[in-house]
């Protein structure tokens, strides 16, 4: 693997045609992680990233309780226990990062997550990531010993474990941990 640069092409899901009204407050973001070959200039698909940006401020203005989107049946149920302060205007959930097996071992997952957080979060954004949350289809076997390794890997982004929700990492776009993202971007 000898790439000149790594890029992410984003596709954003339209949130305004949702059948379920609370989803109107969620932007789904899908990214294709690409490597550009040094010699040929060809792009190679290295993986994908999926995020959800929850527009809390719009919910507040419309007087929609945040629990409508963050309920136990939602994809972001792990945020239920996270203390979401009123000053957060958005929440950015890193739902999944999948790197192709042949591209693993080069910190591309961290790079993609770091770039996506820098792209989509701001000072008033709660950032959340739950390593291993999506089970065997994404991360391989759900071996409990691998949970600790996954957690250690993702802690390198500078997010911190949420004291109230086991296995969830959080941070906000305005704190100093964002500086750590520079290492990967």
Residue in the structure block whose two tokens are 């759900």: 142
Q: What is the pLDDT of residue 12?
A: 92
Antiparallel, parallel or unpaired: β 125-129 and 90-99: parallel
Q: What is the pLDDT of residue 179?
A: 54
**Among candidate residues 69, 74, 52, 65, the one with its CA nearest the CA of residue 121:** 52
Residue range 106-131, pLDDT digits in tens: 888 888 998 999 899 888 888 888 88
Q: What is the pLDDT of residue 55?
A: 87
Question: Which residues of the chain fall below pLDDT 70?
Answer: 1, 16-23, 70-85, 132-146, 172-185
Q: What is the pLDDT of residue 125?
A: 87
Q: Where are the domains of the chain?
A: 49-181
21: Cβ contacts below 8 Å, ≥ 6 apart: 64, 68
Question: How far is Cα 136 from Cα 96, in angstroms, rounded to an integer?
Answer: 12
56 phi-psi bin (left φ>0, alpha ψ -120 to 50, beta other): alpha
| Inter-residue contact 48 to 30 (CB < 8 Å) | yes
Residue range 156-168, pLDDT digits in tens: 888 888 877 777 8
Residue in the structure block whose two tokens are 């409508």: 68
Q: What is the pLDDT of residue 81?
A: 59
140: Cβ contacts below 8 Å, ≥ 6 apart: 146
Residue in the structure block whose two tokens are 């989803």: 23
Q: What is the pLDDT of residue 31?
A: 96
């Amino acid at each position: 693997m000898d790439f000149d640069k790594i890029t992410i092409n984003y596709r954003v899901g339209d949130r305004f045609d949702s059948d379920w009204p609370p989803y109107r407050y969620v932007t789904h973001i899908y990214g294709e992680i690409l490597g550009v070959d040094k010699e040929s200039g060809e792009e190679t698909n290295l993986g994908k990233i999926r995020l959800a940006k929850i527009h809390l401020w719009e919910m507040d203005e419309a007087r929609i309780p945040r629990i409508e989107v963050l309920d136990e049946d939602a994809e972001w149920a792990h945020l239920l226990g996270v203390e979401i302060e009123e000053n957060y205007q958005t929440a950015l959930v890193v739902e999944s990062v999948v790197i192709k097996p042949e591209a693993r071992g080069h910190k591309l997952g961290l790079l993609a997550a770091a770039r996506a957080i820098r792209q989509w979060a701001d000072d008033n954004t709660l950032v959340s990531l739950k390593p291993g949350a999506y089970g065997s289809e994404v991360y391989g076997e759900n071996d409990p010993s691998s949970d600790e390794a996954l957690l250690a890997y993702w802690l390198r982004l500078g997010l911190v474990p949420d004291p109230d929700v086991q296995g969830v990492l959080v941070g906000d776009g305005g704190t100093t941990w964002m500086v750590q993202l520079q290492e990967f971007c």
